Amino acid sequence: MHVDLSDLTILVTGASRGIGRAIARALGTSGARVAIHYHRTAEPAQALADELNAAEPFQANLATIAGGAQLFDDVTAAFGRVDGLVNNAGVAAQLPLDGSDDAWAEGWARTMHVNLRAPELLCRRAIRHFRTQGGGRIINVASRAAFRGDTPDYMAYAASKGGLVALTRSIARGFGDDGIVAFTLAPGFTRTDMAQDFIDEYGEDYATSDLALSRLTEPDDIAPTAVFLASGLADHATGATIDINAGSYVH
């Protein structure tokens, strides 16, 4: 089935690498105009924009309150409208239980801000915008950890992603009358730079030991589902969580 997104403008956060990059590329290849958000790495974001037919890079620090709001405003100013939002940007800080109170507090605060508060700010901006144009679609990238938990050093990550799932469901239930739908993608271990720290700490055998399939999930395994959800073909699944974890957690 061919999906044509040529009439849509979609903002993807954390799109300069990993899952976000794969999603942005797949959306652009399917015809969408893509706003490629990045924080520090401008070169990969620009290279991806150059590769696609209609895409632009946008810099923003999502660890600040102003960053998310300014990002959405910049994208709407550049493209005139936004039809879809993919909240993919995230951090996964290793926070040992016996670390200092200051390090623990700082790590939790930053994790919650980037992984949950920034998506909330962007979703709020998007909802207001979508209401003026008859609707829109939100795809929030959470994690398997939101449902089964994570290792003790990554409790903050799991908690932030659990909150993102609840946020998505609340949006789906609350704004359907406005033509706004929202979905959660919940990847398991995926071969990305962010996951590499965990793999280095625990080993790839640990990461793959509970998979039903024979290899670790790649970003390109996740991107097609985002394209499908963005297309409008699955709007009546609003509020749903799509697990993409190679069968390592089924609920």
Residues designated catalytic? 157
Strand order of the β-sheet with 9-12 is: 55-59, 33-38, 9-12, 84-87, 136-141, 180-187, 241-244
Residue 152 DSSP one-character state: G
Nearest to 37 by CA among 54, 20, 10, 13: 13
Coil, strand or helix: which one is 167? Answer: helix
Q: How far is CA 134 from CA 8, 83, 130, 151, in A?
A: 13, 10, 6, 42
In the block, tokens 């700010």 appear at 121
Q: How many residues does the chain have?
A: 251
Distance (Å, whole) CA 31 – CA 45: 18
Which distant-in-sequence residues (6+ apart) come within 8 Å of 18 by Cβ? 190, 192, 193, 194, 219
- Cα–Cα dist 27/37, whole Å: 14
Check: CB of residue 78 under 8 Å from CB of residue 35: yes
